[in-house]
Amino acid sequence: MALQGSLTELSLPDVIQLVSVSGKSGAFKLDREGEKGQIYLKDGQIVDASVGNLRGEHAVYEMAIWSSGEFSFVAGLSSPEVTVHRSNANLMMEAARRLDEWRVLSRRIPSLDLIPYFSPREGQDQVTLSPQEWILVTRVDGERSIEEIGHILRWSAFDVSKLLFGMITSGLVALQDPGKSKDGEGRIKAGPSPITLLGLAEKIRSVALDVVGPGGEKTIEKQYAGARTMIERGEGIDTIKEMVQQNSKAISLLKGADVAAMFDEQVRPLLGDNEGS
């Protein structure tokens, strides 16, 4: 007979611990409002897991923070693949740490259905973001929810929320209810703010200068100055993409296609172009 219950009453780490100590083989089936996941155990050890676009350890961590949903354990089911290599103890320790951190994140991010948008910022202070944060800001458009952004980037909701938490705390990003984003009233302009775009242009300029080396600085600076002018006139993320394309062409002419390809490879993560549209 299958073991089943509600994650509202019993957390997933506790359920896994209960089954793993018995050394059973089988699969946990989880369902949270239509979002389905699986965790496979062999002789009590987790060997595979999947949910949405996530696989392996990250899938385990994602489901471990679910505070609602239903679970069932079906003995005898197996997976042909092994995507988890850490011990259950290590997995559950990390899951517990993330669960504690999630409780802190949820104070500012109470729902994954909320839509992030860029807050108006006073002054012209420089925006300093990590490469992952740059990737994230290119997906914030005032329309997509946190969950939708995570799906597009193939990131866990936890990882997206962790990055957003810092942006919300600094005042760069705010959250709005899904209904408010579509009623046409009080809409925040979609896409990165001018300050964010200027910071991204500066980042790309720096990469281009490093790649092109002596002799190509004037060309790169010209593209950067043009992008700044367009951004200050109110143009959006397309200006940044055009800047990248022009820099790539110039580097190809000056240094060759291989060097241009190296530049493209370095700036692609900043635009999130390797993660789908």
Residue that terminates a domain, selected from 59, 85, 105: 105
Give tens-digit pLDDT for 99-119.
Answer: 888 888 888 898 888 999 887
What number is the average pLDDT over the span 118-123?
64
- 168 and 121, same structural domain? yes
* The overall pTM is greater than 0.85: no
Q: Determine the Cα–Cα distance for residues 174 and 121; give it in Å rounded to an integer.
A: 11
What number is the average pLDDT over the span 153-160?
88
Provide the domain count of the chain. 3
User: Of all residues in the chain, what percent carry a pLDDT higher than 90?
Assistant: 20
**Is 61 part of any domain?**
yes
Position 164 pLDDT exceeds 60: yes
The predicted structure's pLDDT at residue 100: 87
| Helical residues (DSSP H) of 122-193, grouped into ranges | 131-137, 146-153, 157-170
**Is 186 part of any domain?**
no
CA atoms lying within 13 Å on the CB side of residue 146: 26
Residue partners of 127: CB distance under 8 A and separation at least 6: 172, 195, 196, 198, 199
**Is 12 part of any domain?**
yes
The predicted structure's pLDDT at residue 121: 57
Residue that terminates a domain, selected from 105, 130, 154: 105
What number is the average pLDDT over the span 234-251?
87
Give tens-digit pLDDT for 46-98.
Answer: 999 999 889 999 999 989 888 889 999 999 999 999 999 999 989 988 888 88
197 near 185, Cβ under 8 Å?
no
198 near 231, Cβ under 8 Å?
yes
Residue that terminates a domain, selected from 105, 135, 159: 105
- 98 and 7, same structural domain? yes
204 near 134, Cβ under 8 Å?
no
Strands (E), 33-120: 35-42, 45-51, 54-55, 70-75, 115-118
- 142 and 235, same structural domain? no
Give tens-digit pLDDT for 183-237.
Answer: 444 444 456 667 778 778 888 888 898 888 887 888 898 888 888 888 877 787 8
- 171 and 203, same structural domain? no
**Is 8 part of any domain?**
yes
Q: What mean pLDDT, rounded, does the chain reach?
A: 83
Torsion (CA) 265, 50, 139, 129 in degrees, nearest 10: -70
The predicted structure's pLDDT at residue 185: 45
- 263 and 228, same structural domain? yes
Parent domain of 172: 115-181
- 222 and 251, same structural domain? yes
- 227 and 154, same structural domain? no
The predicted structure's pLDDT at residue 2: 59
Q: Determine the Cα–Cα distance for residues 143 and 139; give it in Å rounded to an integer.
A: 10
The predicted structure's pLDDT at residue 72: 92
- 9 and 90, same structural domain? yes
- 94 and 142, same structural domain? no
- 95 and 127, same structural domain? no
The predicted structure's pLDDT at residue 56: 94
Question: When comparing pLDDT for 202 and 126, which is higher?
Answer: 202
- 231 and 149, same structural domain? no
The predicted structure's pLDDT at residue 64: 87
